[in-house]
Structure 1
């Protein structure tokens, strides 16, 4: 099967949904499919609409002789009218990580985003969803079938830590918290820092991710950290290679990401491979993975006090930390691997092609 995938930019320099895209490409190829990438330049939302008039891009798609075309839904403003003008027989499938209109924006903006996404979603032939929550958000705008839920996996760093290693690590006096992902307002790192500052007990926070993704927010965040007097406890690593990310996760105790919205939250699952209970958002699909007070803790977005309530007991009670950590390991082991996710997607694409 010849599969095309439309994305913004370079798969090798991204995180979040691009981890999903990259893993899917690699595993579809391992399963015997040919996958061709079609990269579009990433532009501001309004300017992206101009890409719909690019005839050369449509010619490239038609010349590829594809059996099915996958499109990362993030690219929807660039593809809104392109899809209507493609004029080829291959089905077009939207790969939906989460809708822009599901995020927090001004009401007028979200109204605009909903109209655009509704038009895009109604112009494709099928959907791959990263969670049941994402399927539900699409259903509010368009008929959600044919479609398949193919959950992200957490095994890109290899196998899980042993329970013995997790128990030994919990003896470290300072609670080591890590957050993983691009440094943007949606990830709620400012909320995490404020919640930690109110925590009585020794802690450190390591922020792993591209801190140049939103330079204004990063500057605001650094100022907030300085004003709170916790600069000595917070470190920014910037982007790291996978091996280095794995090293940070292996040394940490908890992965905290109180985002304003997550379609699923790959980072939560990747942390669970290292026995890290997740402090996760109630907004979005994280609850499909994180069971509150079992393998992690669910907190409301923009609520530093909830973050404090979640993390403060783990500073004091290491038996509770171990219990949550071992449950996180169990949850990771019960979850599909990236290969199994790719097999689910492959079966669905073949049913359409």
Structure 2
């Protein structure tokens, strides 16, 4: 295939890249696809993603390659599922197991593409996923030896549990998170950072974990983005203050804190809550709403498909999201893209996505402090909602300016150009 000489030839490694899934696989897929607008990209992913990618219209062999690492990946995944002690729980345990099994995937990638990389068929090798900074990349050293820049990231994860939420940590089976910092001592971690030409970091916390000697090649770039074809509406709320919550009904997301914070205002008829999502807490939350005597002012929508989520959120003035441990906070961006003002805890992902004038934040205190702060914010907005339209417009504009996948492709392309030039001068500021 002939290539425009100014276009970069990128081998995009995304073990998790799936257009039908959410979270990390959707990030891997979306970024790799967005990069096709500015570069010639060949995606390398795990075989489990093959069928959805084929349905999306890509041609195997030309546009992507599916690596079959199931001989090790499948039993290791089953082990992780057994050790996490509950569906959706024990994420640190899952990442620990993945840190052991993932290098086999990269070994198979090198078997398939090593000659092409050494032969200069690619200008850049970019590992997009895994996002976890705990997982080493043996490819970094191989690419460095071959003289081909290796870009890592965006990396994100491992935000510490805030003080006062030990019960929530244990409910999520996250006891291993107390030992997470030990990953810095794992073989291959320092070599990966040393041999990477650039390191994209998705959060300031992750940036703080990069050793000082490698900070000069780190670039801050939040990993989540917005597809305007999926989030293409503009909220038009009316009437009394209405707030939505979107997420799994689990302790660290804080839906119970939201109910408690909103209860006085709901009882007075000044607020309606729309809770979207399913999870183990849902039956208990319905009981809590009855106990607080606010059932008439809360709609539990359960799980909803994407289009229905937009329909519900577009009737809301606010996304009320008191989660205390979000790495990325994709739902916050999605609300902002619709012009729904985010009200979040100023911690980790949401705290970085929401800036002055584009949303509202409360300090990350203990449980009671968050409940009180959310309650005060909600009451103030019910009494005087005049600030909401300007916040909504600014939130939407922030997404348009920085978080569309097309914007992120351009941001990553600047990093690619920097490493292709030999990394001369300071790393680019792209965000």
Q: Is this a same-fold pair by TM over 0.5? A: yes
CA distance in 2 between counterparts of 1:117 and 1:223 reads 44
Aligned residue-pair number: 335
Q: Which consecutive unaligned segments of at least 5 residues does structure 2 have?
A: 1-8, 49-72, 85-91, 118-123, 163-168, 421-431
Partner of 2:199: 127
Q: Could you say if the C-alpha distance between residues 219 and 72 of structure 1 is closer, same or farther in structure 2, counting changes exceeding 3 Å? A: farther
Structure with the greater alpha carbon radius of gyration? 2
Q: Which consecutive unaligned segments of at least 5 residues does structure 1 have?
A: none
Deviation for aligned residue 1:281 = 1.4
Partner of 1:296: 359
* Highest RCO, 1 vs 2 (Cα 8 Å, sep ≥ 6): 1
CA distance in 2 between counterparts of 1:223 and 1:7 reads 41
CA distance in 2 between counterparts of 1:9 and 1:154 reads 16
Partner of 1:57: 105
Partner of 1:137: 208
CA distance in 2 between counterparts of 1:253 and 1:153 reads 22
Q: Which of 274, 278, 285 is matched with 1:206 structurally?
A: 274
Q: Is the 8 A contact 2:19 2:30 kept in 1?
A: no
Partner of 1:259: 323
**TM-score normalised by the chain length of structure 2:** 0.65
What's the C-alpha RMSD, in Å, of the aligned pairs? 3.5
Partner of 1:146: 217
CA distance in 2 between counterparts of 1:220 and 1:178 reads 19
Structure 2 counterpart SS, 1:153: coil
Deviation for aligned residue 1:50 = 5.1
Partner deviation per Cα, 1:57-76 (whole Å, 9 max, x = no partner):
34421134165141535556
Q: Is the 8 A contact 1:101 1:111 kept in 2?
A: no
Deviation for aligned residue 1:247 = 1.9
Partner of 2:347: 283
Q: Could you say if the C-alpha distance between residues 5 and 202 of structure 1 is closer, same or farther in structure 2, counting changes exceeding 3 Å? A: farther
Q: Is the 8 A contact 2:16 2:45 kept in 1?
A: no
Partner of 1:113: 180
Q: Is the 8 A contact 1:94 1:121 kept in 2?
A: no
Structure 2 counterpart SS, 1:143: helix
Q: Is the 8 A contact 1:179 1:206 kept in 2?
A: yes
Larger deviation, residues 35-44 vs 337-346? 35-44
Partner deviation per Cα, 1:115-156 (whole Å, 9 max, x = no partner):
11564653422422234x245333368833423223443453
CA distance in 2 between counterparts of 1:53 and 1:266 reads 27
Q: Could you say if the C-alpha distance between residues 55 and 149 of structure 1 is closer, same or farther in structure 2, counting changes exceeding 3 Å? A: closer
Q: Within the alignment, does 1:240 sit opposite 2:311 as a pair?
A: no
Partner of 1:5: 13
Q: Is the 8 A contact 2:341 2:360 kept in 1?
A: yes
**TM-score normalised by the chain length of structure 1:** 0.78
Partner of 2:428: none
Structure 1 counterpart SS, 2:387: helix
Q: Is the 8 A contact 1:96 1:129 kept in 2?
A: yes
Q: Within the alignment, does 1:313 sit opposite 2:380 as a pair?
A: yes
